[in-house]
Amino acid sequence: MKQRIITAIIFGATLISLTIIGGIPLLILTYLAATVALHELFRMRKLNLFSIAGMISIIFLWLILLPSKYDYILTNINLTKVEITLMAVLLFLSYTVATKNRYTFDDVAFSIMSILYVGMGFHYFLETREEGLVFIFYSLFIIWATDSGAYFIGKAMGKRKLWPEISPNKTIEGSLGGIISAVVVSVVYGLITGMEIQLIYLSFITIILSIFGQIGDLVESALKRHYQVKDSGNILPGHGGILDRFDSLLFVWPLIHFLQLI
Is residue 20 one of the residues assigned to a domain?
no
Q: Which residue, 88, 104, 130, sits at the end of a domain?
A: 130
Q: What is the DSSP letter of 70?
A: G
The rounded distance, in Å, linking the Cα atoms of 228 and 234 is 15
**Can you give the pLDDT at residue 256?**
94
Tens-place pLDDT, residues 100-124:
999 999 999 999 999 999 999 999 9
User: What is the value of pTM for the model shown?
Assistant: 0.91
Q: Clarify whether residues 62 and 44 are in a common domain.
A: yes
Of the pLDDT bands very low, low, confident and very high (cuts 50, 70, 90), residue 202 is very high
Sheet strands (E) in the chain: 161-163, 167-171
Output the CA–CA distances (angstroms, integers) from residue 109 to 83, 89, 105, 117, 256, in the order listed. 17, 9, 6, 12, 27
Range of the domain at 107: 35-130
The rounded distance, in Å, linking the Cα atoms of 255 and 188 is 21
Helix, strand or coil for residue 239? coil
Non-local (6+) Cβ contacts of 247 within 8 A are: 216, 217, 219, 220
Q: Clarify whether residues 206 and 158 are in a common domain.
A: yes
Q: Which residue, 97, 130, 163, sits at the end of a domain?
A: 130
Q: Clarify whether residues 78 and 136 are in a common domain.
A: no
Sheet strands (E) in 59-150: none
